[in-house]
Amino acid sequence: MMELLDPRVDFVFKRIFASNNNKDVLLAFLNRIFAEAGEPALDEVVLLNPYTDKDDPLDKQSIFDIWAKTVDGRMIDIEMQLFNKYDIEKRTLYYWSKRYSGQLQESGKYRDLKKCVTINILNYSLLPGEQYHSVFHLREDNSGIALTQDIEIHFLELPNLKLSSPPEQEGLVNWLLFLKGIDQSHWEVLSMNEPVMKKAMDTLQFLSQDSEARRIYEARQKYLHDEASLRDAAENGWERGLQKGMQEGLKEGLHEGQLKAKLEIAKKLLAMGLNRAEIREATGLSDEEIESSNP
C-alpha cells in the first residue's frame, strides 16, 4: 500500500483545505468545528490566501496558515501546528490582534470591525484537561456576560482524541481522525459519515503519488523537524544555563555571607585583644582580611 503524506504537515494541510478546487472541503470542516461550538453553519467561505505553487516550504515569508472570510465579513485564520512552538497562547493573541486591527482602514470606524476567529490545530497537548476541542471568548468572570463576540479562539488538540476507530455518526471527530492519519481501512466509514471528506482523501492520495509534491513535502517536513530541534536545544540550553547560574550564584552568595560573618567575628576578637595569629587560627582569615575587618 502506498505511503501517504502526513496531512498534519502544514504544506499538505493547506493543499487539501485551501486549494480553490477544495473550498467545499474547507467549508465542511469549518462547519463541523462551528457546530461543536453551537454556532450556525456557513453557506460559503472565501479563501484569502489560497495555496499556490509559489508557497516555498523553505521560505519564512510563505504563509501556510489558511486565511478565509465569510460572506458577512468574519475573518477566519486556521493554523496547523505539528510541533510545540511554545508561548502559543500569546502568539495566538498577537496574530489575532493583527488580523483584527488590520481590517480598519485609515478613515474607518471601530464599528466596522468584524469578528475574527482563530483555529489552532495542535499535534500536541496544550491545555489542562483531556478535551480535544476548546473554545475561548471574552466574557465577564462571574456572570458569563460577553463583552464582545468579536474574539473567538479554538484549540483542537489531536492527541486528546483517544478514538482509534470512526464513530457511527457524522461530526468533527471524523475529520480529526483523518488528520491524525487513521488507517485507510477506516476511510470508507469516515467518508460515509462525512461525504465531502472523500474529496480530501482523493487529494491526499494524489499528492502522495506526485513526485514533485512529495519532494516539497519532504523539504517542508525536514525544515519543521530542524526548526523544532533547534528550538528545543535552545530552550534546554537556556534552562541548563539558568540552573547553572543559580547554582553558581548560590555558592557565591554563601561564600560572601560566610566571609562577612567571619570578618564580624574578627572585629570582635581584635576588640577583645587577641593577636592576629590567634584570630587567623580561629577564623581562617588572612592578615589582609583581618585588617579589613577593623578599618
pLDDT higher for 59 or 80?
80
AA identity, residue 77? D
Concatenated DSSP letters of 260-273: HHHHHHHHHHHHTT
Grid cell of 2 as nine digits: 502506498
Grid cell of 98 as nine digits: 493583527
Rounded to two decimals, what is the model's pTM?
0.76
Provide the CB-side half-sphere exposure for 235 (13 A, CA).
10
Q: Is residue 21 part of a domain?
A: yes
Percent of the chain with pLDDT over 70: 87
Q: Is residue 199 part of a domain?
A: yes
Tell me the pLDDT band of 125, cut-offs 50, 70 and 90.
very high
For the chain, the 3-state helix, strand and coil shares in percent, each to the nearest 5, are: 50, 15, 35
Q: Which residues of 92-131 are buried (b: 16+ CB within 10 A; e: fewer)?
A: beeebeebbeeeeeeeeeeeebebbbbbbbbbeeeeeeee
pLDDT at 241 (0 to 100):
54
Mean pLDDT of 89-113: 90
Overall size of the chain counted in residues: 295
Tell me the pLDDT band of 232, cut-offs 50, 70 and 90.
confident
pLDDT > 80? residue 242: no
pLDDT at 89 (0 to 100):
94
Mean pLDDT of 129-157: 95
Q: Report the number of distinct structural domains present in the chain.
A: 1
| Whether the Cβ atoms of residue 80 and residue 10 lie closer than 8 Å to each other | yes
Mean pLDDT of 242-253: 58
pLDDT > 70? residue 34: yes
Q: Is residue 214 part of a domain?
A: no
pLDDT > 80? residue 250: no
Mean pLDDT of 185-201: 96
Q: Is residue 233 part of a domain?
A: no
- Residue 172's domain comprises 10-209
Q: Is residue 36 part of a domain?
A: yes
- Coil vs helix vs strand at 98: helix
Q: Is residue 180 part of a domain?
A: yes
Grid cell of 224 as nine digits: 519543521
